[in-house]
A and B are shown apart, each in its own frame.
Chain A
Amino acid sequence: MSEESKPIGGEFLTTPFKVLAGFTLFAGLLVLIRYVMGIGAVSNLSDGYPWGIWITYDVVAGTAIACGGYSMAILVYVLNKGEYHPLIRPALLASVFGYTLAAISIFIDIGRYWQGYNMFWPKYSNVNSVMLEVAVCIALYVMVLWIEFAPVLFEGMQKYKGNLPAFLTKWDVSGLQKIWSKFLFFFIALGILLPTMHQSSLGSLMLIAGKKLSPLWQTGFLPLLFLISAITMGYAIVIFESLFSSVGLKRPAETPILAKLSGIMPWLIGTYLVIRVLDLIVRGALGKAFAFNVQSLMFWIENALFVYPLVILMSAQNRTKARPLFLSALSILLAGLIYRFNAFLIGFDPGNGWTYFPSFSEILITFGIIAFEVMAYLYIVKKFPVLPKTEHA
């Protein structure tokens, strides 16, 4: 399978890379201030809105956007669609950094980070807590992702020595490669189980917020809706990345395989929307959608962004064209993103006049995290065999 992928090469210290590095450094400074002066010094978080964009974007939405590896694994390894194999590595790479950075960002957000390990200590862990399930699953999945991605690194260290700094190429990793090839199937399986668990539980997190979350989002179906939308976002990010890198990194587009992949989407979005709408009707919550306030506006934006790709991608002809494909994928990502923002922030009202809008520093820290992810992605695809060889496309 290794013949499918190849480092794309080229200089990595490009101007965009340097701009991203600047962002990351500045965010790093702000994080330093947070550790010295407290969370309040850099954020607008409050007792009414204890969770802001760090949790909602960096963790909840960020890991959903990083579901490419998970979604592709379902397709390739469970449904046995081997033809999608060339898309696995780039998807996995984005997942590795998306999840790793989400896990790191948790340690910026939690106040008593030096006791973070208490989660894994049976004396303290509370099995009734949805948060415990989410945290343990995400921590394990980050490790599983690195195990899954390791063969790419091994291959790069063996076959593309010229690209890499000397300390990386000194090792002989052929022994490790053999061990990996024996056990990898187990970690691939685990890598499908864990996101199924925590992506649904990320939705369950808000169940206990009860009436503080608007009936437009508060439902027993939160876990199912979060899971389906995360899987859909996983396919969307694969399509988005592939088309984006074909433009950004000047590579031929992989539209035939993406056309086939996008055929799955209308089914997933359709299922999601049927559950979403029926649930609202049965619970009698649909009236809230016509309240003409910020919540109802955001509800319509969220769902319009789900309906648009559903309509576009139902046409087989649209699925073969790069532009509608790209816009549909982007729309799904935004829809899932806004759904998560709505369920965690915009639909959340603690009452008593509390409001929240992220501070400049808070936003910059989140940008820094995204910038670091993009930098890491660019470095790895240039140095390691991740992206499909162009003649395959």
Chain B
Amino acid sequence: MVAANAHPALAREPKERIKDAVGMLYDSTVCIGCKACVSACKQFNETPSSFSSTDELWDNPLDNDSKTYNIIKLYKDGTGAAKDQEKDGHAYIKRQCMHCVDPACVSACPVSALAKDPANGIVSYDKKACIGCRYCQIACPFNVPKFEFEKAFPQIRKCQLCSHRMEKGDFAACAQYCPTGATIYGKVEDLLAEAKKRLAYKPGELRKYPVERVNGGQVTERIVTPYVMHIYGEKEGGGTQVLYLSGVAFEKLGLPALEETSDAQRSETIQHTIYKGMIAPIVFLGGLVYAVHKNTKDHK
């Protein structure tokens, strides 16, 4: 009854990228760590300040939390002097929801409170559905969904790629207010193309880098610095709509090394193999009813 090794024919197919999916490209080599994105995120999502110091003077969270959907974190080694260098260097990393192609949170949520928009692929949260079970938090490989443990009537909080700003033609505030072009917004296919283009650049060349949007026309010039030859999020965990480029290894930046098969696919394959059309449980129940009926008569 419980088939742990799923038959390939029953396996849940991997999810494809949605054609018009939107996302972001964050290039760690371009980021100067100014945190304008953190500030803009708080402003446009109306999230309160989050404090890591006892004086509570200004917003200074150490990580994403229920009040901080977006954050810039620092990697530092040794003296920390050289930017984008693993040894004796430092590098920035921006963390927010990755808007996975096949999100574990969406698969896990029993009440569809987390859902992936079929048109743009944004993973958003519906508080009217949520029961607060926090299975999304167990499921997310990036630990993105955050819960308001301090509230009597809590919600899950996370980046929704500023979907509430899109009607007015605006887009993700973190990208829109990034002064350097480290974070750019756009269609994932364009972002992927841009990322591949950058990996082909030679260090030392002067190149045009888009600012705010990948195809918005606004550009800045920059001397290319060395890249790790990998686009994080192209394949990781079945792919994500937020993509990363970096000068140091992605694990050093705290990004998990994920397999190409998503955990959602793995979980659903096993679960659907057992419960396909509820046939196995119904047949099993039939057998049980027969056996119990017969045996309870015997006992009388």
Contact = CB atoms under 8 A, between A and B. Distances in A.
Interface string B235-246: 001000000000
A63 B86 CA distance: 49
Contact of A223 (B2, B112, B299): B2
B240 to A, nearest CB: 14
Contacts of B258: 210-211
B150 A204 contact: no
Contact of B143 (A35, A48, A82, A110): A48
B2 A227 contact: yes
Contacts of B139: 208-209
Given A38-B152, A204-B271, A119 B292 contact: no
Given A78-B292, A124-B111, A190 B285 contact: yes
B108 interface: yes
A188 B152 contact: no
A201 B143 CA distance: 23
Nearest to B3: A224
B110 A212 contact: no
B118 interface: no
B296 A112 contact: no
A190 B281 CA distance: 10
Given A119-B110, A129-B109, A220-B270, A50 B131 contact: no
Interface size class of A (residues with CB under 8 A): 35 or more
Interface stretch (A192-200, A241-249, A296-304): A192-200
Contact of A210 (B141, B154, B254): B141
Interface string B58-69: 000001011000
B243 to A, nearest CB: 20
B143 A115 contact: no
A78 B108 contact: no
Contact of B132 (A85, A112, A126, A210): A112
Interface string B113-139: 100000000000001111111110111
Contact of B135 (A39, A77, A131, A196): A131
Question: Residue among A36, A130, A210 with the most chain B CB within 10 A?
Answer: A210
A40 interface: yes
B149 A223 contact: no
Interface in B148-184: 148-155
B57 interface: no
B295 interface: yes
A45 interface: yes
A222 B66 CA distance: 32
Contacts of A40: 149-150
A287 to B, nearest CB: 18
A158 B164 CA distance: 64
A119 B2 CA distance: 24
Contacts of A111: 130-134, 147-148, 154-155
B299 A41 contact: no
Contacts of B150: 37-38, 40-41
A85 B5 CA distance: 36
Interface of B: 1-2, 4-6, 63, 65-66, 104, 107-113, 127-135, 137-139, 141, 143, 145-155, 237, 254, 256-258, 263-264, 266-268, 270-272, 274-275, 281, 284-285, 288-289, 291-293, 295-296, 298-299
Top 4 closest pairs, chain A to chain B, by CB: A111-B132, A40-B149, A112-B132, A210-B263
Given A46-B149, A115-B129, A128-B264, 9 more contacts: A47-B66, A77-B295, A78-B288, A111-B130, A118-B111, A128-B107, A205-B135, A209-B139, A352-B254
Interface of A: 1, 35-41, 43, 45-48, 50-51, 76-78, 80, 82, 85, 109-113, 115-116, 118-119, 121, 124-126, 128-133, 135, 184-186, 188-190, 192-193, 196-197, 200-201, 204-212, 219-224, 227, 348, 350-352
